[in-house]
């Protein structure tokens, strides 16, 4: 079923990019549910970040800019705050975000769940504080993705999943040191969605302690040809597919009627 999801989602991407009309699939779940792409670099927000948040623009603040990009993950917000990140000017950043909030404008994208992790404070304040901490920890000094993943996790508010997403951006940036990391293909980190996706695939609970073993086995079973981070992201979306298909859950994002 996972191999089917991958094949069907890639077929849909090709149809959408070719301006084919809906429906792009005979599968009713795919007809009404929005899924991220098989390859993360094909996602709309990632493509926007590739064009608008570049090393040429941000220089030695590039890694910090990518942390901000995934913390908010919404192009209109990222365009609005862009020039308060080079260099990071905390009060200007806070004022810019507050202006958006006061205007009733959407600030965060819906793909990642960003919270204050139980702290009783406005989320804008929490995110600005997170970037202040990130500024002290960056640049990354790890020799590969796994070492840098541990470094990013020292930033309060940047957990396992978000750290891996930031690293996926960096490793796919031409000229960045991580573009030549020795674990470019093999590195991936567990998130709640991918753990559930693996549990659907193996029909038994997969935990963080067994994640690496199970995702490697999954890669072998379906003959996965690409990097493990893309497979990890597919498993997140596969979990969503299975929950909608079985009626045990629903997606936050869907397509309008046509």
Residue 113: Cβ-neighbour burial (10 angstroms; 0-12, 13-18, 19+): exposed
To which residue do tokens 């200007």 refer?
92
End-to-end Cα distance, the chain: 27
- Per residue in 183-209, pLDDT (tens digit) is 999 999 998 999 999 999 999 999 999
- Per residue in 17-49, pLDDT (tens digit) is 999 999 999 999 999 999 999 999 999 999 999
What number is the average pLDDT over the span 124-142?
95
Cα angle 241, 105, 153 (rounded to 5 degrees) comes to 60
- Span of 74-78, 89-93, 120-124, 140-144 with lowest mean pLDDT: 89-93
Contact at 8 Å (CB) between 251 and 31?
no
pLDDT at 258: 62
What number is the average pLDDT over the span 43-67?
96
% helix, strand, coil for the chain, step of 5: 60, 0, 40
What number is the average pLDDT over the span 105-120?
90
pTM of full prediction above 0.75: yes
């Amino acid at each position: 079923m996972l191999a089917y999801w991958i094949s069907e989602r890639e077929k849909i991407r090709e149809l959408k990019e070719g301006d084919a009309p809906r429906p792009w699939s005979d599968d009713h779940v795919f007809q009404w549910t929005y899924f991220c792409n098989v390859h993360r670099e094909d996602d709309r927000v990632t493509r926007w970040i590739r064009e608008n948040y570049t090393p040429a623009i941000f220089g030695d603040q590039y890694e910090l800019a990518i942390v901000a990009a995934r913390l908010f993950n919404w192009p209109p917000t990222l365009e609005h705050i862009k020039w308060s990140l080079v260099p990071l000017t905390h009060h200007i950043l806070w004022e810019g975000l507050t202006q958006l909030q006061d205007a009733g404008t959407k600030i965060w994208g819906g793909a990642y769940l960003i919270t204050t992790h139980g702290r009783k404070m406005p989320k804008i304040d929490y995110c600005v504080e997170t970037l202040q901490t990130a500024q002290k920890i960056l640049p990354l000094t790890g020799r590969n993705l796994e070492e840098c993943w541990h470094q990013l996790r020292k930033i309060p508010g940047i957990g396992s999943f978000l750290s891996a997403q930031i690293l996926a951006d960096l490793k796919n940036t031409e000229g960045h040191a991580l573009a030549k990391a020795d674990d470019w293909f093999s590195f991936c980190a567990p998130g709640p969605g991918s753990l559930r996706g693996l549990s659907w695939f193996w029909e038994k609970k997969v935990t963080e302690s067994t994640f690496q073993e199970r995702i490697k086995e999954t890669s072998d079973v379906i003959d996965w040809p690409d990097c493990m981070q893309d497979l990890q992201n597919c498993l997140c979306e596969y979990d969503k597919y299975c929950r909608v298909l079985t009626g045990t859950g629903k997606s936050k994002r869907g397509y309008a009627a046509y």
